[in-house]
Chains A and B, each alone.
Chain A
Amino acid sequence: MIEGYTALYIFMLAAFTGYEVISRVPVILHTPLMSGSNFVHGIVLVGAMVAMGHASTDMERFIGFLGVMLAAGNAVGGYVVTERMLEMFKPSRKEGGR
């Protein structure tokens, strides 16, 4: 378990990292980046799997099942959409290199 001030430090550093990573982004990348970060929080899948894996009653199992299903949708959908969107940057990159 990650507790007390350690938890707080991790939270603070991660928040700072996110802020730094995104700053100075051109407008054109706002949407792909939103989509990309949407994919990254698909990591909730891992937590949903753990919650479901430790479920003991039927109700817990049912909600866990819903959670895993939704989380998998977030992760897979987020990836597919982001990839398709970034795919379109191929021609523009060639154009810029000319």
Chain B
Amino acid sequence: MIELSYFAAAVLFILGLKRMSSPVTARDGIVWAGVGMVVATLATFFMPDMHNYGLMILAILIGGGIAWYTGKKVEMTDMPQMIAIYNGMGGGAAAAIAAVELMKGDIPSTSFQVLAVLGALIGSVAFSGSAIAFAKLQGLMKKSLVFPSQKVVNLGILGLALLLGLVLMFSDSPGGFLLFLFFLLALAFGVMMTLPIGGADMPVIISLYNAFTGLAVGFEGFVLGNAAMIIAGTVVGSAGTLLTQLMAKAMNRSLGNVLFSGFGTTTAGAGASPEGEMKEVSATDAATMMAFANKVIIVPGYGMAVAQAQHKVWELAELLEERGVEVKFAIHPVAGRMPGHMNVLLAEAGVPYDKIFDMDEINAEFPQADVALVIGANDVVNPAARTDPDSPIYGMPILDVDKAKNVIVVKRGKGRGFSGIENKLFFLDNTRMLYGDAQKVAADLIAEVKQL
């Protein structure tokens, strides 16, 4: 009966994921997977020879309760770091399973012990790495730590962890100090591996840790002889790996590049300080420029998401269209903090699909645009990515807004983007800055256009 429930859960997970890969059925998908999870969890209570029920239920209530509360409360803009932290918890749980099983010392054969140790290593890395990713996205940790011979140090930690792991794999009763040291090293490696990564690469690394956790869960599933864990874990492991590659490809970067290039050293950015100055523009002038333009391309970014300005921006676009201006939205694959972030927000505001364009579709149109209105986007429109080989984002494909006849940049303050790099776009001759909260600025622009 328990086995049958696990089988049903595995089927529901796969069908749920399949449904989630199409926009039309996506919402049912998560419900299907959710039913699978409840079935499997309830069935587990009826496993033979189980103890500690009281504490177990308490642990579920605490962990589930906190996650429920934080998950419901979090702002839409903070979703990526929540995914990171929940994923890290899964990795930590897989590592905890491995620790308990290794301490008990009754794993039937060496091959299973190898899997237990490998799962522990991968799970621990996913746990501590995701915690660092969370801290970075949440703004608790601002800078990317990069120091000389970092790769050597990291390799050293990984090597030591693997060495200890080898000892553990083949010892009869692994435990105590060695086990403790092994976990410590594995956790340290996760931290060290994530510290130098920053900027737009963050979603990719979160996705990678997601795949890691899946794999760790699958491995521990073999150790426990639990088919539901094996199947669900392995499916997520391979799906997550593919998803990670797709994301990296959307940014035109290889996975190795993301992991080892050490993104965004502030010193390098400061060395190439742009010339010229930022020129401000009033809402009145900006509104006039757009109202009498033939073609306006709007480029939304994280700033629009933070200010919840999507409804006002769409209102502005509709107003311009009534005056005969052609308005299009241009979306960079990694605009915002996660792929598809802007599409979701604009869809929420009611912008029709045929007005929203991907980078490849719209880049050729910027030279014909009279105004490119950049709302809270920064790194994805930085021309340094095209021109400056010293820039940390060099080679990343960007939206060519600098080629438009006029550029209006709506920005909260004079600070830098998420990657901490100075943006050359802001200093160009055809660029005007419009400071303020995106929602308020959009409202001002609407009022000004109406008065014309």
Contact = CB atoms under 8 A, between A and B. Distances in A.
A73 B67 contact: yes
A30 B64 contact: no
Central interface residue in B27, B218, B350, by most chain A CB within 10 Å = B27
A70 B338 contact: no
B30 interface: yes
A52 B47 CA distance: 12
B86 interface: yes
Given A18-B235, A43-B233, A46-B40, A61 B52 contact: yes
Q: Which of under 10, 10 to 19, 20 to 34, or 35 or more describes the interface residues of A? A: 35 or more
Interface string B308-351: 00000000000000000000000001000011110110011010
Contact of B100 (A67, A81, A84): A67
A52 B234 contact: no
A47 B17 contact: no
Interface in B222-260: 222, 224-240, 242-243, 246-247, 250
A11 B218 contact: yes
Given A46-B40, A67-B93, A18 B20 contact: no
Interface string B67-102: 110111010100110110111011011111101110
B190 interface: no
A31 to B, nearest CB: 4
Given A19-B238, A21-B235, A69-B63, A36 B100 contact: no
B333 to A, nearest CB: 6
B89 A77 contact: yes
B368 to A, nearest CB: 25
A67 B286 CA distance: 56
B324 to A, nearest CB: 23
A88 B243 CA distance: 21
Interface in A43-86: 43-57, 59-61, 63-86
B4 interface: no
A58 to B, nearest CB: 11
B90 A70 contact: yes
Contacts of B203: 30-31, 34
Contact of A14 (B100, B234, B338): B234
Contacts, number: 379
Given A47-B224, A49-B41, A18 B60 contact: no
Given A10-B231, A30-B246, A37-B239, A75 B37 contact: yes
A38 B87 contact: yes
A74 B350 CA distance: 32
B93 A43 contact: no
Contacts of B100: 51-52, 55, 60, 63-64, 67
Given A30-B247, A43-B232, A44-B233, A70 B96 contact: yes
Nearest to A1: B225
A11 to B, nearest CB: 6
Given A46-B40, A76-B63, A95-B347, A51 B17 contact: no
B379 interface: no
A44 B292 CA distance: 59
B233 A50 contact: no
Interface in A14-40: 14-19, 21-40
Interface string B157-171: 000000000000000
B26 A29 contact: yes
Given A1-B108, A61-B52, A18 B234 contact: yes
Contacts of B66: 73
Contacts of B62: 69, 72
A3 B110 CA distance: 12
A81 B82 contact: yes
The 4 A-B pairs with the shortest beta carbon distances in the complex, nearest first, are A67-B96, A80-B71, A92-B347, A53-B50
Interface of A: 1-3, 7, 10-11, 14-19, 21-57, 59-61, 63-93, 95-96
28 contacts: A10-B234, A18-B17, A18-B235, A18-B236, A18-B238, A27-B333, A27-B343, A30-B203, A31-B80, A31-B339, A34-B206, A34-B243, A36-B30, A44-B93, A44-B220, A45-B37, A54-B49, A55-B100, A59-B103, A64-B96, A67-B92, A67-B97, A70-B93, A72-B67, A73-B67, A77-B71, A85-B344, A89-B344
